[in-house]
């Protein structure tokens, strides 16, 4: 019996990972901020798939809470065989003139938590000669789409780098880079995506199924959906100035700066 720990497990891609992992017989450790919702989902998965589903309530932007999750991931007496770093959110604002504490919280979850949890998980996995980490990044990591894009770029390159360092150990580290997916993500972030065409959307069940297949085959980067595979190729071949131009970052004339005293 293997155990998977999934962060951000109550909704969207994280919840789908938990569902599919439970369905294949993995025991679970589910991590999220909403304790009541988390426990209800853990109970549902445990009853339906006859697996053990523990919960760990934690806001990964809080260093003390993150430390508790690190300790669980690193516990050799209760080994975690698969770590899914899925927790995340976007900040719908310009960097210049925006709330820097919101930016810090996003960086803490998308970068710091991913780094520290991966660091905590790998020694035990390498010692056992099996296991791995799936870091949920984004196709935004291939463009210049603001601070979210920058954080996800770090996640993708970090995953590739660590996976390379684990060659020959039996451990895989994979960056999962989905595009727009039908989840609560955009609604929670106050983002209007109503203008996007249907072809740009992915469904979480298919996305996770493809991701787990890619992970099984040892791929360091998984890009679900033919449309996003094509976008990855285009962004890798196009001149970087062209990528920046079409990345959707707005110019200075659109910035909403705080009022400043006259000189």
For the annotated catalytic residues, the residue numbers are 148
Q: Which of 19, 117, 24 is nearest to 75 (CA)?
A: 117
Say if strands 3-7 and 27-32 run parallel, antiparallel, or are unpaired.
parallel
Q: Which of 217, 213, 107 is nearest to 155 (CA)?
A: 107
Q: To the nearest 10°, report the CA torsion of 114, 156, 154, 76.
A: 20
Distances from the Cα of 67 to the Cα of 73, 108, 162, 253, angstroms: 10, 13, 21, 42
Contact 172, 212 (CB under 8 A): no
């Amino acid at each position: 019996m293997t155990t998977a720990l999934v962060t951000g497990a109550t909704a969207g891609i994280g919840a789908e990972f938990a569902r599919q992992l439970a369905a294949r017989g993995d025991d679970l450790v589910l991590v999220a901020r909403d304790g009541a919702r988390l426990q209800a989902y853990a109970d549902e998965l445990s009853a339906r798939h006859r697996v053990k589903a523990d919960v760990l309530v934690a806001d990964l932007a809080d260093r003390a809470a993150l430390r508790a999750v690190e300790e669980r991931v690193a516990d050799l007496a209760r080994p975690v065989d698969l770590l899914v770093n899925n927790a995340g959110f976007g900040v719908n604002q310009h960097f210049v003139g925006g709330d820097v504490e919101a930016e810090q919280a996003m960086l803490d979850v998308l970068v710091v938590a991913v780094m520290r949890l991966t660091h905590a998980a790998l020694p035990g996995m390498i010692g056992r000669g099996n296991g791995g980490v799936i870091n949920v990044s984004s196709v935004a990591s291939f463009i210049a789409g603001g601070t979210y894009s920058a954080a996800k770029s770090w996640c993708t390159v970090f995953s590739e780098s660590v996976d390379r360092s684990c060659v020959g150990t039996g451990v895989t580290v994979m960056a999962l880079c989905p595009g727009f997916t039908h989840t609560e993500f955009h609604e929670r972030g106050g983002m209007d995506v109503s203008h996007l065409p249907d072809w740009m959307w992915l469904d979480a069940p298919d996305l996770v199924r493809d991701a787990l297949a890619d992970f099984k085959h040892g791929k360091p980067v998984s890009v679900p959906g033919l449309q996003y595979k094509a976008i990855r190729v285009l962004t890798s071949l196009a001149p970087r100035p062209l990528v920046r131009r079409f990345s959707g970052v707005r110019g200075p004339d659109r910035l909403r700066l705080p009022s400043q005293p006259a000189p």
